[in-house]
Structure 1
Amino acid sequence: MTIKSIEKAILHHQNLYDKGKPEISDKQFDILVANLQRRSPGSPVLDQLGKPLRTEKIRHHTSMLSLQKFYVVANVETWGKKTGETLFAIQPKYDGVALSLRYEKGKLVHAATRGDGEEGDDVTRRALLCPDIPKRIKERRSVEIRGELIMQSTVFEDMFEGEFANARNAVAGNLMRRSGRTDVIKACSFFAYDLLVKKMFDFDTRMKALGDLKFMPTHTAFVVSTAIGEKLNTFSESFREFDYAMDGLVIKVCSYKIQEAVGYTAHHPRWACALKFRGETARTTILDVTWQVSRNGTLTPVAELDPVDLDGVTISRATLHHLGRFKMFAPRKGDIVMLARRGGVIPHIEAIETGKGKKIKVPKVCPSCEGSLRVEKDFLKCCEPECDSALIRKLRHWANTTGMDCWGPEVIQALYDAGDLTHPDDFYELGHTDIERLDGFGMDSSTALIEEMEKTREMPLDTFITALGIPLIGKTIAKRIAKAIPDIESFGFVDMDVAGVGQSRINALRDWIIDQGDLLERLLDVVDVIPIVRPDIEGPLAGKNFVFTGRLSDMERSEAQHLVCKYGGDVAGGVTKTTNYLVVGDLAKDGQLTKRNKAEKYGVTIISETEFASMLAEAMTENE
């Protein structure tokens, strides 16, 4: 790329980021900036970063600058020596939305996003929907609280997965739109990471003051300069276990005098930096895009790639997620893509360098059944309810969920092609002859398949609900619904009284029943659904909600959770106002304080592993 094209790309992506619509990852943007700094250190674009690109409603009293970024611990150690400081603070770098909260005489006067660092969007009314952001504080001075608005990973998975690409997109998109959903912001947490007042003081005192003002301070570890490298390696692992998305660590000088002495550049403070988590990337070429049909009829674009090694794995395909993302990238054959493995597992397209190849078009008909298509927001959907691919995926989902492990994709496809298997209830009408007339299937095969199918004629209510494949209703939500209703006959009357099941999921369930009521009735003719019976259990665990954090020394966490449920309690992944106990494992690491901080905020009882074992023993004794 030429210097001019690099400058143009930086300004383009900075503008999109300021608008909350980034096209590339932070790391890819950092690479662009580093490239420009190396090739043209005097470029005027470098001076523009962090300055206004467009007019905003709120101007920050103190600039919200970017941080200098490092990817190697040794570079952070070198930076630390240059500051002359002997004590540093280390905080997680959450991947959320940075906010500045301005309080005058104890009253919140505005909440603003970072924006371009000088000016940000006014999001005061929507920010107040977050339970961690108070309208008033006990402080008469003018103060500014800076922090990150973020959603717990488990909350996102339970309530919003499938509706948004990830937790950050859910938060940013709904915070900065007047028509955004209030339930998303209400489900967020706000972690305060700094306090700004007219007469500043050292960083450790500022963090303590945040707690005194009833904010939830970002977890902060203080380390001496000689141990900074060792602690960064330790915290890089322990912080990753937090129930929030993060992409690195922030390191800050503690002394305010030294902060003032080392000062700022036009782009970042010299007294703070970020250590970004390294994720291996690779470049390859797009050969084409194919469209897969999900069991709910949504078409997913999948990039077919020239095979490339990424982190020891050969990658030849990567999802583009949905129509909206496909249009944003507008891929062409021969385009160069930058790949990364999210979480070390899923190949993700971080950026595309558009070339002059043949433009890849959106299909006009369903690639499976050739039926018509419709667009719903960012999604492309098949209008044909009997679409081949969707029906086959529903059959495979039913078999996988109910435990029909022998029913692999080949036998399901063969029976579908033969016209003997179209809907899940058809499994229970199959006989030996239907299977044995398939190529390669004899008496032994048909016997094994039918015996396994017969075992699923009776199944728990939560398994049945999960197997239906209702949009937005996964295993966790299905279990919550099953616990809330007495039997399957009450399935159509689920309402918002079910804890942890949002309105969008309730609507999806009701819509499915209207559309698929005939299938539900047919299934109930061939399957016995067993309701979840909550026995009359007494004892200290009965009716209580538990959350665990940290490793347990005497048992696996899954075993402890099972025992809680066995003796009448419930288990959740994150702390909420309805949590009764937070159990801290004896092997919990120093960095695992996020759940503890939230428990203290909500007045949740925090108990040790030993105390939990005592409660468990009492429950077992009372229910012998």
Structure 2
Amino acid sequence: MNIQQHILQLRDTLTQHNYNYYVLDQPTISDFDFDVKLKELQALEDAHPEFADEHSPTKRVGGAITKNFETVVHDHRMYSLDNSYSKEDVLDWETRVKKVIDGKVQFVCELKYDGASISLTYENGILLKAVTRGDGVQGDNVTANIKTIRSVPLRLKGDYPPKFDIRGEIVLPFEGFIKMNEERVEIGEEPYRNPRNTASGSLKLQDSAEVSKRPLECLLYNITGNNLNSDTQFESLEKARAWGFKVPKAAALVNSIDDVFEFIDYWNIHRHDLPYETDGVVVKINDLHQQDELGYTAKSPRWAIAYKFKAEQVSTRLNEITYQVGRTGAITPVANLEPVELAGTTVKRASLHNADQIEKLDIREGDEVFVEKGGEIIPKIIAVDLTKRPADSRPTHYIENCPECGTALVRNDGEAQHYCPNYNGCQPQIIGRIQHFISRKAMDIEGLGGETVALLVKENLITDYSDLYTLTKADVIPLERMAEKSADNLINGIEASKEIPFERVLYALGIRYVGETVAKKLVKHFKSITNIADATLIDLVTVDEIGIRIAESVVDFFNSEQNQIIVEQLRDCGVQMEISAEKLANQTNKLEGQAFVVSGVFESLSRDELKKMIEDNGGKVSSSISSKTSYLIAGDNMGPSKRTKAEKLQIPIISEAEFKKILK
């Protein structure tokens, strides 16, 4: 056997032993023998660099240094799940599903592991990149760190697709977490708070050799891509396991919602026996064609729901109620608590939401209160222990003036929150609007963070977000902690943001009630900032899904002389204030006023591509058939009830080819 063959044989042997140990939990070789073989391979690779392979088992020890993690756009968006906290919510979800899906529905139940979400991309069976969730649209490239995790295969085996993404959670098992903390205490360091945060923080360590020392694991649960050759979620999990991924075995295929509840009840008790943090159960529609039929909301898949286990509760003392001012002027009362441990973290503060909530709970300073984590993330006060209320307790009197600028607060009819109306003179509002403007989903200005924004405002270098575009390096370099390179990055990041497309610019302006989805609808309809600014209330409410509240907010924003000046300054600085010519070239109004339902599997286009063509040409896509439906575009495997309903309502049923003819 020659040197190259020996190296290849050692790699295959070590990869198999690694799989047996870290994925199957069935080691067939001692740690000592594994290390001997690994050292032999390392020595051979060092002596023969011509046979180097970045996917060799020797690369698992890390050593790559990453100072700045590259931002990468996901090929397929990473959606978040809708959460439910009761079985009634799950039943409501099943009802919504069955309104769209014909025939039998099967469910896959999976445990919801509490870790750091990751997307792994494989091409020709080789790990190409590993990207964090980020905001779902884009995340950080952490490939060098992920390669050190032994349960992540660097090279796949079996019959895998040419290219695909697989999603999962990076978790830190309890045993490894306890051992890490024991070592930290021994050397006089503070112990880590909880496994989830430690796992998440590990992904952003700059030295991958340090990551390799942490006993992280990667649990996979969803394959995404084109031409995956799987018809069901459960089948895709089994295939992923065969390719070499660590897919939890707790997943179950069930035939009814009663079976789903049985799974939930079982794991609500037995989750405490698991080696990882688990905070719920994810229920998915098994059939991938049915998943495709159900589609997505702006944030979540309609074909899945997360049932969260009941949150942990503790009691503690409410020391003081303070008030925060948000970017819209909304006032949020905050409970400052005696620090208490809750679900692995120390809780010191909790939102009280509004005056109605305070009145409803009759909550007062000095009270003993019960606190839980909503979704085991956000602390909230759920009740007061009246048996421990001090004798001299006084009811809470909600503030009447802004805690920052002293302006008298207002509360509009039908709204729960109080507002500070001093839009242009209240500093937290100004800072908050600019922080929203630069955020990742908005202008995504690299090199500029929330703290720097606050500093720029306090140093009177900017008074609104249009001032960012007049900043110079000389302006920012005197700021605290601002080095030469940081100043360059900030100015370059501001310049690069001029290429951000118009729909994100509109969202960045921070118009009340105009989120990402509403901004896209307004941009698609009006095409430019000038047309939106000139639009009347009637013009706005005629846009699909734009109600009177949103319309009034848009009109109020552009009626402000100050806002008009800011928008004009942004335009003059080169910020995108209309749809690009390239995007406009692909849009028409051919289908304006027409509503389409898309159902089934199609030959040359995916369902998403069909929907995009409809929307790009002015049409509307609906998930269910009604008397307002113009056409049902029918593909293979379309449910019979949709056809029956369309025929009953005399709605034309057309094929993919006929739809293309309509467009022509």
Give TM-score, length-normalised by structure 1: 0.48
Between Structure 1 and Structure 2, the one with more strand by share is 1
TM-score (norm 2): 0.46
